[in-house]
Amino acid sequence: MNKAFVRESDGDDDDEALSPSLQLPAGTRNYITPAGYARLKDEREALVKRERPRLVDVVSWAASNGDRSENGDYIYGKRRLREIDRRIRFLSKRIDFAEVVDPLRQGDNDQVFFGACVTVVDSDGGENTYTIVGVDEVDVGRGRISWISPLARALIKARTGDCVRFQSPLGIREIEIIDVIYRTID
């Protein structure tokens, strides 16, 4: 069959293709910090106003060269346009359903909620600091964990001095909360 009559996937199933760490539980809100929200908006704007128009110019130039079936610039440009459009749709959905939560509004609270920077010590004496952020802001290397992760769920509503248990990949662990602070997250 001629390629002109074959419909390629347009990427409308992008929510089903998300990794489990980015999927929100059904019926929950997409909590995000102000800095995370700004990053999502900046990325969408860069795609819409800079990268996509530049790529459209390349694809239209490649299309004007004639035979499109063996034109690499045209084929790969169209594929990249689909990827950009899929990412723009994803970002737009995330932005539309985002609920911005400013950690500074918690003030001087010793209870753990979204946006808290929590310092914990485990049974081995190892001390770690975790910041509870939205699913789109996770960066384990910087200690940022999603509010839907098992560790964050165990920490939420606990207070300084509490011991909490949670299921980790290594089994059930117990940690003690040493400090809870709320600060601007960059």
Residue 7, pLDDT > 50, answer no
pLDDT band with cut points at 50, 70 and 90 for residue 145: very high
Tens digits of per-residue pLDDT, 30-64? 899 999 999 999 999 999 999 999 999 988 888 88
Would you identify the CATH topology of the domain 27-100? Helix Hairpins (1.10.287)
Mean pLDDT for the stretch of residues 22-29: 72
pLDDT band with cut points at 50, 70 and 90 for residue 11: very low
Q: What is the pLDDT of residue 22?
A: 65
Mean pLDDT for the stretch of residues 12-18: 51
The domain segmentation of the chain, as residue ranges, is: 27-100, 103-182
Q: Check: CATH 2.40.100.10 for 103-182?
A: no
- The whole-model pTM stands at 0.79
One-letter amino acid identity for 7?
A: R
How far apart are alpha carbons 19 and 3 in whole angstroms?
Answer: 31
Tens digits of per-residue pLDDT, 60-109? 888 888 777 777 888 899 999 999 999 999 999 999 999 999 988 887 78
Q: Is the Cα dihedral 123, 126, 127, 128 positive or negative?
A: negative
How far apart are alpha carbons 13 and 82 in whole angstroms?
Answer: 13
One-letter amino acid identity for 74?
A: Y
